[in-house]
Amino acid sequence: MSAQILSGKIFASEFKEEAKKQVLALKEQYNITPGLAVIIVGENPASKVYVNNKHRTCEEVGIYSEVISMPADTTKEQLIAKIDELNYRQEIHGILVQLPLPEAITKEEADILNAICPLKDVDGFHPVNVGKLMIGQDDGMIPCTPYGCLKMLQSAKINIDGAHAVIVGRSNIVGKPMGQLLLAQNATVTICHSHTHNLKEICRSADILVAAVGRPHFITADMIKPGATVIDVGINRIAPKKLVGDVDFDNAVEVAGAITPVPGGVGLLTIAMLMQNTINAAKLQLAK
C-alpha cells in the first residue's frame, strides 16, 4: 500500500488561515498589525527566492513586511547597527536575517544573530530562545521548520506520545530543536548523525523518522519501518530547477505509512510558521 502524502500545501494553508484570524483579532482588540523585517545581505539567488516567498506570504496573511537588502560587502558592525535600529522600532515585531551570510562575515554569524532582541527573534536562533525550548518555558520563539513539523504531526493526528522518533541530523536549526519539541510531547527521541553506528537499524526502529541531513536520497526504503511517518526536511537542488529531499521518495512511499514530499512539503510549513512566530512575537511584546 502506498503511504498517505502529507501535503505541505494543505497544512500550510490551514496554518495560514489560523494566522489570518489572529492578525484580524490583534487589529480589532489592540489596533496592532504584526510586522516582520527580513534582512538579506548579498546576492544569493536562492535566498532572494525565499525572501520573496516570505514577503508574499506576509501580504497574504495581513502581516506588515519590510525587506531590507544590504550589499555583499556589509560589515558585521553595519549589520548589527541595522538590527539595532529594528530592535527599537515598535511596529517591527519580528526580525529575520536570511542565511547563509556572505563568506566575509560567515564567521560573525553568532554575534550577528545574538544582536537580535530575543523577543523579536522569529527564527528562534537566539541562545535565550534555544534555552527556553530546552527547559520547556513556553514564552520563547520556536524555530520555524521544527515548529511546522510538530504542528503538521498534530494536525494529521499522528501519535507522538510514547513513539520512537529518530532524527537524522543534529543542526541547531532543525535536528536539535526537533528533538526537544518531540521530547516535550513524550516521544522517545534518538538523534543520529554522520558518526552514528548502525544507522539503518536505528532508523528502522523509528515510528517517526525525520530526515535533516542535506544529502539527496540519503534515506532509502530499507531504512524505514513499514507504516512509519517520514518527514523529509531536506532541500537539495540537484539541477537549476530540480529540488529533491533527503529521502528516496519514490521507493519510500511504498513502505511508509505517511510521508512528506519535496517540494511541496516542509518548506511551505516553514514559511507558514514564520507568520505564526511573527504573530507570537507581537503578542509577547504586547505583554511586556
Ligand X SMILES: Nc1nc(=O)c2c([nH]1)NC[C@@H]1CN(c3ccc(C(=O)N[C@@H](CCC(=O)O)C(=O)O)cc3)C=[N+]21
Using CB under 6 A as the criterion, which residues of the chain lie in contact with ligand X when the complex forms? Answer: 49-50, 53, 96-99, 123, 144, 235, 243, 262-265, 267-268, 270-271
Residue 1 interaction partner, one of Mg ion, ligand X, none, beta carbon < 5-8 Å per kind: Mg ion
Instruction: Check whether 179 is labelled as a binding-site residue.
Output: no
- Residue 11 interaction partner, one of Mg ion, ligand X, none, beta carbon < 5-8 Å per kind: none
Q: 199 or 243, CB closer to ligand X? A: 243
Nearer to Mg ion, 102 or 257 (CB): 257
For residue 231, list its beta bridge partners.
210
Beta strands in 11-107 (DSSP E): 35-41, 64-70, 94-97
Give the integer Cα–Cα distance in Å for 221 and 184: 28
- Rounded alpha-carbon distances, angstroms, from residue 259 to 7, 90, 134: 9, 41, 27
235 is in an annotated binding site: yes
d(CA 246, CA 213): 7
Q: Which residue has the cell 510538530?
A: 150
- Identify what 253 binds: Mg ion, ligand X, none; CB under 5 to 8 Å per kind: none
37, 80, 175, 131 alpha-carbon torsion, rounded to 10°: -100
Q: Which does 102 bind (CB under 5 to 8 A by kind): Mg ion, ligand X, none?
A: none
Residue 68 CB, shortest distance to ligand X, in Å, is 13
Other beta carbons less than 10 A from residue 287's beta carbon: 7
Rule CB under 5 A: say whether 287 interacts with Mg ion: no
250 is catalytic: no
Look up 207 and say whether it is catalytic: no
The string over 113-136, giving b where at least 16 C-beta atoms fall within 10 Å of a residue's C-beta and e elsewhere, is bebbbbbbbbbbbbeebbebbeee
What is the closest distance, in whole angstroms, from the C-beta atom of residue 91 to ligand X in the complex? 21
> Is 1 among the residues that bind Mg ion (CB under 5 A)?
yes
How many whole angstroms separate alpha carbon 275 and alpha carbon 22?
Answer: 10
Closest-CB residue for ligand X?
Answer: 267
Is residue 170 a known part of a binding site? yes
250 binds Mg ion (CB under 5 A): no
Segment interacting with Mg ion, rule: CB under 5 A, options 1-9, 66-74, 96-104, 138-146? 1-9
- Return the closest-CA partner of residue 12 out of 277, 284, 273, 288: 273
Catalytic residue among 16, 22, 82, 98: 98
Q: How far is the CB of 88 from ligand X (least distance, A)?
A: 21
Is 169 assigned a ligand-binding role in the annotation? Answer: yes
Identify whether the C-beta of residue 266 lies closer than 8 Å to the C-beta of residue 15: no
Distances 91 to 66, 85, 110, 152 between C-alpha atoms, Å? 11, 12, 25, 30
The DSSP output letter for 136 is T
In the complex, the smallest distance separating the C-beta of residue 97 from ligand X, rounded to whole angstroms, is 6
Q: How far is the CB of 74 from ligand X (least distance, A)?
A: 15
Catalytic residue among 123, 207, 232, 246: 123
Residue 165 interacting entry, from ligand X, Mg ion, none, C-beta within 5 to 8 Å by type: none
Give the CB-side neighbour count of residue 35, counting CA atoms within 13 A: 16
157 is catalytic: no
Applying CB under 5 A, the residues found at the interface with Mg ion are: 1
Binding-site residue set: 169-171, 235
Binding-site residue set for NADP(+): 169-171, 235
Task: Give catalytic residue positions.
Answer: 54, 98, 123
